[in-house]
Structure 1
Amino acid sequence: MGSVDSSRLPLVFFARLSGLVVAVSVLYWALFLPNQGLSYSTLHPLLMVIGFILVSGEAILIHRWLPGSRKTKKAVHLWLQGVALASAVFGIWTKFHYQRGVFANFYSLHSWMGLLSVSLFGAQWVTGFMSFWHRGEVRTTRTTFLPWHVFIGLYTYGLAIATAETGLLEKLTFLQTKRNVPRRGSESMTVNGLGLGLALLCGIVISAAVLPKYQSHSGNEKLVYSSQDRPKCLSS
Structure 2
Amino acid sequence: MAMKNYRQFLFLLVAVVSVGFVSIVFVLQWVLYFKEGLAWDGGLAEFNWHPVLIVTGFIFIQGIAILVYRLPWTWKCSKLMMKFIHAGLNILAFAFAAISLVAVFDFHNAASIPNMYSLHSWLGLTAVILYGLQIALGLCVYLVPIIPESMRAVFMPVHVYSGLLIFTSVIATALMGITEKLIFGLKNPKYKDSPPEATFVNFLGVLIMVFGALVIWIVTCPAWKRPNEQLLSSQPTSGGDATRTMGGTVLSICSTTDWNDPEANCDTRKRNNKPDQSGQRSTV
TM range (shorter): 0.7 to 0.9
Give the aligned residue type for 1:205. V
Give the aligned residue type for 2:176. T
1:135 is aligned to 145
Q: Does 1:55 align with 2:55?
A: no
| Distance (whole Å) between structure 1 residues aligned to residue 80 and residue 99 of structure 2 | 29
Three-state SS of the structure 1 residue aligned to 2:48 is helix
| Distance (whole Å) between structure 2 residues aligned to residue 120 and residue 35 of structure 1 | 32
Give the aligned residue type for 1:49. V
Gaps of 5+ in 2: 40-44, 231-253, 267-284
Give the aligned residue type for 1:201. F
Give the aligned residue type for 2:205. G
Shift of 1:180: 2.6
Q: Taking CA–CA contacts closer than 8 Å with sequence separation of 6 or more, which of the two structures ends up with the larger relative contact order?
A: 1
Which of 85, 96, 117 lines up with 1:87 in the alignment?
A: 96
Give the aligned residue type for 2:223. K
1:31 is aligned to 32
Instruction: Provide closer, same or farther for how the CA distance between residues 4 and 223 of structure 1 changes in structure 2, counting only shifts above 3 A.
Output: farther
Shift of 1:90: 0.7
| TM-score relative to the length of structure 2 | 0.73
Write out aligned runs for 1:73-152 (5 A). 73-97=82-106, 98-101=109-112, 104-152=114-162
| Distance (whole Å) between structure 2 residues aligned to residue 221 and residue 25 of structure 1 | 42
Do 1:143 and 1:234's aligned partners in 2 also have CA atoms closer than 8 Å? no
| Distance (whole Å) between structure 2 residues aligned to residue 15 and residue 223 of structure 1 | 29
Q: Does 1:233 align with 2:263?
A: yes
Q: Would you identify which runs of 4 or more consecutive aligned residues in structure 1 move more than 6 Å?
A: 2-5
Instruction: Provide closer, same or farther for how the CA distance between residues 60 and 96 of structure 1 changes in structure 2, counting only shifts above 3 A.
Output: same
Do 1:41 and 1:94's aligned partners in 2 also have CA atoms closer than 8 Å? yes
Do 1:8 and 1:64's aligned partners in 2 also have CA atoms closer than 8 Å? no
Which of 220, 223, 226 lines up with 1:213 in the alignment?
A: 223
| Distance (whole Å) between structure 2 residues aligned to residue 163 and residue 32 of structure 1 | 24
2:78 is aligned to 69
- Greater Cα radius of gyration, structure 1 or 2: 2
1:228 is aligned to none
| TM-score relative to the length of structure 1 | 0.86
| Distance (whole Å) between structure 1 residues aligned to residue 102 and residue 78 of structure 2 | 36
Shift of 1:4: 6.8
| Distance (whole Å) between structure 2 residues aligned to residue 93 and residue 144 of structure 1 | 36
Do 2:3 and 2:223's aligned partners in 1 also have CA atoms closer than 8 Å? no
Between the two proteins, the alignment pairs up a number of residues equal to 226
Give the aligned residue type for 2:63. G
Three-state SS of the structure 1 residue aligned to 2:194 is coil
Gaps of 5+ in 1: 225-231
Shift of 1:100: 4.7
Coordinate RMSD, CA, aligned: 2.5
Shift of 1:181: 4.3
More off after superposition, 153-162 vs 8-17: 8-17
2:189 is aligned to 180
Q: Once the two structures are superposed, what CA deviation does each residue of 1:23-80 show, in whole Å capped at 9, x if it has no partner?
A: 1110100112124443211111111111211111110111111511211111101000
